[in-house]
Structure 1
Amino acid sequence: MHYPAPLISGSTIAVTAFSSGVAAPLHPRLDLVLGDLALRGFKVLEGRCLREDKLHVSASVDRRVDELMQFLLDDQVDAVMAPWGGEIAMDLLPLLDWQALKQARPKWLMGFSDISTVLSAFSSKLGWATCHCTNLMQLSLAQTDALTADTFTHLKTPTGKAFTQYSAPLYEQGYSNYAQDSQAVFNLTEPSRWEVLNGDVQHTKPVSFQGRLIGGCLDTHMLMFGSEYFDPQALLDRHPQDKLIFYFENAEQSPTAYYRALQSLRLRGAFENAAGILIGRNAVSGNAGKAFDGDTAVKMALGDLAVPVITGVDVSHIAPNMVLINGALAEVRQGDEHWTLMQHLR
């Protein structure tokens, strides 16, 4: 893997909305988090594709591609962040100049939701380590839960070293409304619990497994699997001695669509080289009282796999979110009070 340089005080972060942009009612929140980046010691470059949102995007596909390429080819830029996800970042992928990017210095690409569409493409095609983490609009300095507050701390980790995170004790049931309250923080009220869906696959306790991380938002990744933009085999080819740890989270799919997405990955052989699978909290609420809900979807699709499947993981549209480095060698361990996730940047 090609790990970007650690983010330290003085590093430059470029901000561009290569998927959904930020409409005017949310500009106060955007200004707040941009200001907080500066207070953290970063230099901030604000792109032109940012402060509008029409038809799910900040600007035309050509303008978004041009600006993203500009930042990625600029050796003064250390990281590129979008304000949040969106719907159709996939339209950028065939238009990026991948040959030029092969010669570029790797930068951190960061975020989740539709941002993960782009993260997986860079990890698959270029071997860049990319960062699935809390989105910029949620990363205010006022957000003090450990997973969110330590996001940039973990990105200071030098190549060859490791960092450790622990499962969150609480999660947020709903979403913050930044248009009404630009300074809102997460309302973490619900007990969080990682659970082994298929515990009988392990002969010893506690559960533990190791592999290279890869994954993202299931809504887009189930569509991209098998293409050059989400190619787990490329990661295996770089590290043939390792297995993979997949992580997925459901953003918008109904329980039956959620089941079909997981089952389709399985039918196409996605998990043949998996050491384990991490499933994030389901962002879609229950199915109007019907028995076939999100939990049922995961159990039916993955419950009989011969590798550990862990559900309720802190990887989701339901905050908070762990920092997961695509391509990093991760160790997942079950403890008495919490789960541990260690990532080695090697």
Structure 2
Amino acid sequence: MKYPAPLKKGSKIAITAFSTGIAKEHEARYQCVLAYFKSQGFNVVEGECLRGQQKHVSAPAQQRADELMSFLLNDDIDAIVPPWGGELAMELLPMLDFDALTKAKPKWVLGFSDVSTITAVLSSKLGWASAHCSNLMDLTSNATESLTAGTLACLSTPYGEHFSQSASAKHTRSWPNIAEDPEAVLQPEIPTQWRWLVKPEKGDTIEGRLIGGCWDTLFHLFGTDYLDLDSLSRQHPEGLVLFLENVEMSPVDLVRTILNMKFRGVFSCINGLLLGRCAVVDSDNEDDLTYYEVLERHLVGLGIPVMIDSDIGHVPPNLTLINGALATVELHDGGRIHQQLIA
């Protein structure tokens, strides 16, 4: 793995929306975020593909791809940060010149949701570490939730060092109304409990190289040249820990997705599976399939440990998970993850 330089005062941060852009009603929030980043001593460069949400995206696909490539190839840039995810980052993948990027300095690319469509691929194809974490628009100076507030500190970890995070005390299914209150922050109110769906045969931990992101988008990439876990696992004999979270897939959609992954041998390539909380609310109809029923029916017999309800994704808060880091995930005293930034 190739790790970008740790973020520090003077780091140059490029902001571009390679999926969904910033709407007018969110401009004030964006300015709060900018003020926070500048207070940390970062030099901020804004891209042209940033504001606007026409047809789900900030700009046409080629324009977004060209801007992303220009930042990825610019070795004065230390990190590339989209405001948030969206729907159609996948359009950019065939337009990225991965051969040219092998000669570029690794940069941090960070965020969750559709951001992970890009970050997981950069880690898989180029061996660049990347970060699945709170999105740019979550990062303000007044953030009170500890996982969110600690995001930039995790990304300041030097190569060869490590950091640890504990499970959140509480989470929430409600996002702050940043259009009405630009300084609004998360207000977690539901007790968090990471738990085993399938416990390890020995001990109480999962170990391996982290890779993952948004389940809804990444399952389309498994087994392709963009996200070849079989090849990645052969490169890293310590094995892989796949982390995923469901945003919009209904229980029946999720059944098809898991079966698709079984058919393609995805689960045979990993040491364990780490799942975030599901953002889809189950139907009130007792005859309908539920999310947890799907997990019980289709993940229990895989022969690997499966941890669920972790701090990953669209039911915040979010851990900072480094694609490519060597991780130990343990479940006692609430849950903890330890990540080493080593090759």
Out of 256, 266, 270, which is 1:270 matched to?
266
Runs of 4+ more than 4 Å apart: none
State the partner residue of 2:255. Answer: 259
CA offsets, 1:123-163, max 9 Å, x none? 11111111000000111111122211111111111111111
- Partners of 2:114 and 2:157 lie apart in 1 by 25
What's the RMSD between the two structures over aligned residues? Answer: 1.2
Is 1:224 the counterpart of 2:221? The answer is: yes
State the partner residue of 2:136. Answer: 136
- Partners of 1:40 and 1:286 lie apart in 2 by 41
Out of 222, 230, 233, which is 1:233 matched to?
230
State the partner residue of 1:202. Answer: 201
Residue 305 of structure 1: how far off its partner (Å): 2.4
State the partner residue of 1:245. Answer: 241
- Partners of 1:288 and 1:82 lie apart in 2 by 36
Out of 289, 292, 303, which is 2:289 matched to?
292
Residue 47 of structure 1: how far off its partner (Å): 0.9
TM-score by length of 2: 0.97
Is 1:334 the counterpart of 2:327? The answer is: no
Is 1:283 the counterpart of 2:274? The answer is: no
Letter in 2 for 1:182: P
CA offsets, 1:71-103, max 9 Å, x none? 111111100000000001000000011121111
Residue 306 of structure 1: how far off its partner (Å): 1.9
1:74-93 alignment runs, 5 A limit:
74-93=74-93
Letter in 1 for 2:311: D
Assess if the C-alpha contact under 8 Å between 1:56 and 1:86 holds in 2. Answer: yes
State the partner residue of 2:168. Answer: 168
CA offsets, 1:39-63, max 9 Å, x none? 1221111111111110010001111
State the partner residue of 1:123. Answer: 123
Assess if the C-alpha contact under 8 Å between 1:127 and 1:235 holds in 2. Answer: no
Residue 182 of structure 1: how far off its partner (Å): 1.2
Assess if the C-alpha contact under 8 Å between 1:47 and 1:67 holds in 2. Answer: yes
- Partners of 2:210 and 2:160 lie apart in 1 by 16
1:99-114 alignment runs, 5 A limit:
99-114=99-114
Assess if the C-alpha contact under 8 Å between 2:229 and 2:269 holds in 1. Answer: no
Q: Secondary structure in 2 aligned to 1:310? A: strand
Question: Measured at CA, do residues 40 and 289 of structure 1 come closer, stay the same or move farther in structure 2, by a change above 3 Å?
Answer: farther
1:152-167 alignment runs, 5 A limit:
152-167=152-167
Q: Secondary structure in 2 aligned to 1:92? A: helix
- Partners of 1:186 and 1:101 lie apart in 2 by 36
Residue 277 of structure 1: how far off its partner (Å): 0.6
Q: Secondary structure in 1 aligned to 2:190? A: strand
- Partners of 1:287 and 1:159 lie apart in 2 by 46
Letter in 1 for 2:270: A
Give ranges in structure 2 of 5+ residues lacking alignment.
none
1:30-49 alignment runs, 5 A limit:
30-49=30-49
- Partners of 1:100 and 1:170 lie apart in 2 by 43
- Partners of 1:97 and 1:273 lie apart in 2 by 27
Give ranges in structure 1 of 5+ residues lacking alignment.
none
TM-score by length of 1: 0.96
1:299-314 alignment runs, 5 A limit:
299-314=296-311
State the partner residue of 1:188. Answer: 188
Letter in 1 for 2:165: Q
State the partner residue of 1:145. Answer: 145
- Percent identity among equivalent residues? 43
Assess if the C-alpha contact under 8 Å between 2:233 and 2:270 holds in 1. Answer: no
Letter in 2 for 1:202: E
Is 1:62 the counterpart of 2:62? The answer is: yes
Residue 203 of structure 1: how far off its partner (Å): 4.6
Residue 265 of structure 1: how far off its partner (Å): 1.0
Residue 202 of structure 1: how far off its partner (Å): 2.5
Moved more, 282-291 or 76-85: 282-291
- The count of aligned residue pairs is 341
